[in-house]
A and B are shown apart, each in its own frame.
Chain A
Amino acid sequence: MPKVKIKRKSTVTDMTAMCDVAFLLLTFFILTATARQPEALEVETPSSTVTFKLPDTDISTLTVGQDKVFFGVVGYDVRVNTLERMGKQYNINFTDEEKKRFSLIENFGVPVASLKQFIALENSERMKIKQPGIPSDSGANNELKQWILQSRYATKELHNVDLRFSIKGDSNEEYPTIRKVIDILQDQEINKFSLITSLEGVN
């Protein structure tokens, strides 16, 4: 019997198509990824086992740390609308340029009175200065309450959905500060909100 000779095939494959696809996907992911903005107030979030992911739109984040509260809301249009409403509330006129600049600020912690100067600062300078936080003591001067209220109006008007609130607190923040923020939310009948945590396993 004659030996059956297996024809040896070449191991070299054409990778052109694969390479094309890979780079196409790579381009897609790079373009969709949003660069992370530096945070005005660094907080270390506590860890938990929940794996629920926050939505990307119509959400406001209240950052709490070092006895200060910072406010931030997602969406350029919502930010501009909120600023307009706050301007009306406190009788401050913001120019279009200021509104445009404000729409790029992710979160901030300055009183309304010094907001104009804060907007005028360059981005790099803004990170350097120490922001005092938004006044949130109960009474007439509760600016945080106004920010929350006006951003809710803005979201409702623009997107016709309810704004969600999330609290991003520092692990070692004392509870009374958190309670103050929760109380402000509850005064406006927001009884459902999210606490931002980092992930940990069950052990």
Chain B
Amino acid sequence: MAELDTSGGSKKGGKVRSKKQSTRVDLTAMVDLAFLLITFFMLTTTLAKPQAMDMFMPDKNDKNEELDVKASRTMTVLLGSDNKIVWYMGVIGDNPPTVDNFGKNGIRKSLIENNRQVIASTGNPEKGLMVIIKPTDKSVYKNFVDILDEIKIANVPSYGINNKVEKAEIGLMKDQGAFKDKQP
């Protein structure tokens, strides 16, 4: 009689032997991912810290500290509206004021140039330019940080911050159109 083989492919009817698979897994992709994440966390934890600019103000109570600086060495920088700067050398009225803006070719050039001239005239690299910063009511905080930054970049040896803007100086700024109310 004809017989039907229903037992499929199994031969001999013996044990089914599973093929032994290697336990090795390719870890390349996993390592790649891990290092990517490490890089990300390292950068975000260290770079996210805010940068800070240290600032020193003169002591308010110390009245007898009159700095002995020749007027010819001083440069008064008035911060005005619309990111404008008005500066003059020495005492007000002695030298014509100059209007500058922030940036590479603006105040930075003036600072470097003035510092160079002052050092050339005093002959002492330690007796360089003395910048007096006077932020007016029309200036914004950004201007203040920017000018401190420019002074640092220009390597000006000394600077001071003076919050007392005189009337004559405001008049000077009005003449130069740097003392306008904020446009709405």
Q: Which residues of A approach B to under 8 Å, CB–CB?
A: 15-16, 18-19, 22-23, 25-26, 29-30, 32-33, 36, 45-46, 48-54, 56, 64, 166, 168-179, 182, 186-187, 189, 191-199, 202-203
Residue ID in chain A nearest B143 by CB atoms: A175
Q: How large is the interface on B (under 10, 10 to 19, 20 to 34, 35 or more residues)?
A: 35 or more
13 extra A-B contacts, CB within 8 A, seeds A32-B45, A36-B48, A175-B79: A22-B38, A45-B50, A46-B145, A48-B145, A50-B51, A51-B51, A52-B52, A56-B49, A169-B145, A171-B140, A173-B140, A196-B53, A198-B50
Contacting residues, chain B, for A203 (C-beta < 8 A):
104
Contact flags B13-29 to A (C-beta < 8 A → 1, else 0): 00000000000000110
- Given that A19-B27, A22-B31, A195-B52 are contacting pairs, would A170 and B45 also be in contact in the complex, using a CB cutoff of 8 Å? no
Interface residue from B27, B28, B51 paired with A52 (Cβ < 8 Å):
B51
**What is the distance, in angstroms, from B182's C-beta to the closest C-beta of chain A?**
8
Contact flags B131-166 to A (C-beta < 8 A → 1, else 0): 000011111111111101100110000000001000
Q: Please report the number of residue pairs spanning A and B whose Cβ atoms sit closer than 8 angstroms.
A: 141
**6 A-B Cβ contacts within 8 A?**
A22-B31, A169-B145, A172-B142, A174-B182, A175-B138, A195-B53
**What is the distance, in angstroms, from A13's C-beta to the closest C-beta of chain B?**
9
Contact A46 B146 (CB under 8 A): yes
Q: Which residues of B approach A to under 8 Å, CB–CB?
A: 27-28, 30-31, 34-35, 37-38, 41-42, 44-45, 48-61, 79, 104, 135-146, 148-149, 152-153, 163, 182
- Please measure, in the bound complex, the distance between the C-alpha atom of A54 and the C-alpha atom of B146, giving whole angstroms: 19
Contacting residues, chain A, for B58 (C-beta < 8 A):
191
**What is the distance, in angstroms, from A123's C-beta to the closest C-beta of chain B?**
21
Contact A196 B52 (CB under 8 A): yes
Contact A175 B51 (CB under 8 A): no
